[in-house]
């Protein structure tokens, strides 16, 4: 198979998972609408420097993700597709980078399997279709890894003893790596450069320890090689190039906000998140991320034990050892620090997935090329686990649908795909066609994850959500429709902001603020969390009532659209009673 054909296969698998129904589902969770609402404000005001959320300074994330949204808005409109398009396209590019790394570091077959595994694992479908900074962060850090592979001569052995040679980057290569990391810093802050640099330094140190020219006890060699290994990576050049790319925007936002953005971002959302759990996102230091990775790499993780064992054996000996060591350092540089951090989220370790996909590709390429009876027996267990996952989906998805969106129980039919894929892979292996069995797993992964991502959120989103509620509002006047939110979810800022004159809505927290807002904007509409309905009622005019209601996903919060109407209802009656 030619390199072009392999690239087309990887791109096709990625596109099938990432692009169908990209904009059909409403913005999900809290992160997507927060990012998109910030981009909406930039779109409305033309200010591309200072991130704001609903009129307030937003210190959680740098601005590069918002610039991607603005590009998506220009192509697809100010909607869900526009907000997610940049993430999807960059994730396709990430899968192609994984293919190129595998081809360079191992051989073409490994690259192809690795690219397909990256494209069709569950978390690629989740993160690659989300309007968050995660997809661009993964792309830019994977780009840095690819540049390092090319510069450090990690590809297959070209001469005896090369694989134990120390790493020595040229100044130009280090600058290119730093530029990629600088774009990652513009995406999500210091995490864009610190883990990659740690991975490269650790790998260079490991290589130096294996240098046959160095003798003596391990502690002595470790101390003697540390400084030399780091010098070979040229960390100052990498950091300097990263600063040259990222510093102009950081300086501009610091000047525009009198340093407030820098203080909030670095002290609260970097140091603070590491030191203490934020927003309830905590987990076990030992178990959280291993469990996340097993779920995120589904269905390829059905063979996780075999993949891990093969990686350990390859790292110890053979022509693939040096590349496996690099991938181990890369994965550890992401997973270990975030396991130690107090705040934990599944997407934090997504940048480690390219390394995991490459180790997956190495295993399947070697299983096809160098079959072993013991491995064959254990692969039977992988097919059983895959079939069991299909049963779990067939049972679990209808239960979830029955709770959130009755009528979408048909989603359980998706479970048939891994069931059928497991049976087909078993049959192919029984016919001694390991290539066909592996291809059956790849097709199953693509179909299962693609259907889950394209059909699941879209079906759940039809039941309600903020998009559904805002669509029921009256047509806006030429100057924009006066809208305010009372303790409303973040998605209100995006969906209602598109109907407002200046791209954002008033955010109210006290009943007195509600009364003042309506007095200043007669006929204004309010988005109210139903938990605070009785609290707000006394501040409303007598003719105000609940016009429509919806339930947000996945939090299951009841949200009300309140405005002037002709018929009395409970909320309006309560307001009148309080006035008497």
Note every long-range contact of 50-56, with CB atoms under 8 Å and residues 24 or more positions apart, other chains counting: 50/253, 50/256, 50/257, 50/261, 51/253, 51/261, 52/504, 53/490, 53/493, 54/485, 54/493, 54/497, 54/504, 54/505, 54/507, 55/504, 55/506, 55/507, 56/507
Q: What is the DSSP letter of 529?
A: E
The average confidence (pLDDT) of the chain is 89
Q: How far apart are CA 65 and CA 261, in angstroms?
A: 16
Q: How far apart are CA 234 and CA 19, in angstroms?
A: 39
pLDDT-wise least confident of 92-106, 224-238, 430-444? 224-238
Average pLDDT over residues 72-93: 97
Q: How far apart are CA 384 and CA 393, in angstroms?
A: 14
Domain parsing of the chain, residue ranges? 3-363, 380-461, 466-579
pLDDT digits (tens, 9 = 90+) for 45-82: 899 999 999 889 999 999 999 999 999 999 999 999 99
| Higher per-residue pLDDT: 579 or 160 | 579
Average pLDDT over residues 196-221: 79
Task: Name the strands in the sheet holding 483-486, side by side, starting at the edge strand that comes first in the sequence.
Answer: 506-508, 483-486, 525-529, 558-564, 544-551
SS3 of 100-132 = HHHHHHCCHHHHHHHHHHHHHCHHHHHHCCCCC
Structure tokens at 276: 């203490």
Q: For the purposes of burial, counting CB atoms within 10 Å of the CB of 412, is it exposed (0-12), middle (13-18) or buried (19 or more)?
A: middle
Structure tokens at 420: 């059928």
Task: Match 């892979």 to its residue by tokens.
Answer: 425
Q: Is 506 helix (H, G, I), strand (E, B) or coil?
A: strand
Residues 6+ apart with CB under 8 A from 34: 53, 58, 60, 490, 493
User: 482 has which bridge partners?
Assistant: none
Q: Is 287 helix (H, G, I), strand (E, B) or coil?
A: coil
Q: How far apart are CA 86 and CA 253, in angstroms?
A: 23
pLDDT digits (tens, 9 = 90+) for 313-355: 998 876 789 999 999 999 999 999 999 999 999 999 999 999 9
Note every long-range contact of 348-351, with CB atoms under 8 Å and residues 24 or more positions apart, other chains counting: 349/289, 349/292, 349/293, 350/123, 350/127, 350/134, 350/137, 350/138, 350/296, 351/137, 351/138, 351/141, 351/142, 351/195
What is the per-residue pLDDT for 318?
67
Average pLDDT over residues 84-105: 97
Residues 6+ apart with CB under 8 A from 580: none
pLDDT at 270 over 80: yes
Tell which residue, 448, 65, 179, 69, has the closest CA to residue 440: 448
| Higher per-residue pLDDT: 221 or 226 | 226
Structure tokens at 110: 């490994």
| Cβ atoms of 214 and 222 closer than 8 Å | no
Structure tokens at 138: 């993964």
Structure tokens at 471: 């669509």
CB atoms within 10 A of CB 422: 25
Tell which residue, 527, 506, 509, has the closest CA to residue 517: 506
User: pLDDT grade, residue 160 (50/70/90)?
Assistant: very low
Tell which residue, 298, 306, 551, has the closest CA to residue 414: 298
Residues 6+ apart with CB under 8 A from 199: 145, 326, 329, 330, 332, 333, 334
pLDDT digits (tens, 9 = 90+) for 548-563: 998 887 677 889 999 9
pLDDT digits (tens, 9 = 90+) for 426-483: 999 999 999 999 999 999 999 999 999 999 888 877 766 888 888 888 765 545 678 8
pLDDT at 170 over 70: yes
pLDDT-wise least confident of 26-40, 143-157, 402-416? 143-157
Average pLDDT over residues 122-137: 97
């Amino acid at each position: 198979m030619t390199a072009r054909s392999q690239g087309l296969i990887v791109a096709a698998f990625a596109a099938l998972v990432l692009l169908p129904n990209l904009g059909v589902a409403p913005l999900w969770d809290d992160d997507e609408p927060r990012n998109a609402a910030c981009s909406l404000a930039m779109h409305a005001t033309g200010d591309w420097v200072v991130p704001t959320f609903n009129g307030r300074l937003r210190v959680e994330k740098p601005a590069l993700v918002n610039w991607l949204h603005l590009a998506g808005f220009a192509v697809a409109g100010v909607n869900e597709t526009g907000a997610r398009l940049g993430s999807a396209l960059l994730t396709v590019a990430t899968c192609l980078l994984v293919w190129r790394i595998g081809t360079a570091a191992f051989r073409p077959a490994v690259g192809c399997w690795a690219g397909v595994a990256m494209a069709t694992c569950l978390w690629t479908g989740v993160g690659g279709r989300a309007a968050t900074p995660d997809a661009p962060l993964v792309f830019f850090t994977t780009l840095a890894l690819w540049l390092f592979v090319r510069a450090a001569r990690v590809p297959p052995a070209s001469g005896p003893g090369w694989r134990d040679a120390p790493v020595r980057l040229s100044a130009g290569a280090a600058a290119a790596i730093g530029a990629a990391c600088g774009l990652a810093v513009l995406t999500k802050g210091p995490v864009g450069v610190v883990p990659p640099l740690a991975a490269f330094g650790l790998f260079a140190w490991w290589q130096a320890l294996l240098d046959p020219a160095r003798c003596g006890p391990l502690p002595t060699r470790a101390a003697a090689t540390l400084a030399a290994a780091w010098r070979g990576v040229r960390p100052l050049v990498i950091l300097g190039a990263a600063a040259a790319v990222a510093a102009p925007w950081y300086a501009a936002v610091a000047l525009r906000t009198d340093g407030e953005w820098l203080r909030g971002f670095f002290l609260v959302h970097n140091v603070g998140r590491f030191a203490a759990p934020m927003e309830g996102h905590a987990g076990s230091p030992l178990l959280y991320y291993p469990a996340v990775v097993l779920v995120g790499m589904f269905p390829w993780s059905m063979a996780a034990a075999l993949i891990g064992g093969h990686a350990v054996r390859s790292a110890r000996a053979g022509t693939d050892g040096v590349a496996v060591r690099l991938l181990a350092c890369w994965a550890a540089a992401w997973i270990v620090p975030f396991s130690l951090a107090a705040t934990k989220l599944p997407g934090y370790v997504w940048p480690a997935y390219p390394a995991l996909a490459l180790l997956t590709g190495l295993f399947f390429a070697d299983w096809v090329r160098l079959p072993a009876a013991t491995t064959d027996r254990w692969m039977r267990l992988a097919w059983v686990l895959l079939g069991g996952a299909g049963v779990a989906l067939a049972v679990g998805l209808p239960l979830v649908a029955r709770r959130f969106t009755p009528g979408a129980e048909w989603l359980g039919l998706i479970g048939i795909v891994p069931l059928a894929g497991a049976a087909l892979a078993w049959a192919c292996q029984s016919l001694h066609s390991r290539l066909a069995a592996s291809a059956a797993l790849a097709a199953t992964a693509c179909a299962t994850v693609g259907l889950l991502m394209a059909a699941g959120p879209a079906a759940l989103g039809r039941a309600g959500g903020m998009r559904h509620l805002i669509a029921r509002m009256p047509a806006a006047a030429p100057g924009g429709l006066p809208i305010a939110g009372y303790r409303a979810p973040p998605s209100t800022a995006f969906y209602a902001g598109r109907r407002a004159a200046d791209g954002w809505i008033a955010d109210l927290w006290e009943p007195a603020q509600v009364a003042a807002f309506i007095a200043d904007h007669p006929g204004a509409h309010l988005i109210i969390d139903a938990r605070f309905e009785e609290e707000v009622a006394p501040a409303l005019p007598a003719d105000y009532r609940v016009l429509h209601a919806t339930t947000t996903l996945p939090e299951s919060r009841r949200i009300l659209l309140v405005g002037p109407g002709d018929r009395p209802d409970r909320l309006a009656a309560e307001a009148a009673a309080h006035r008497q």
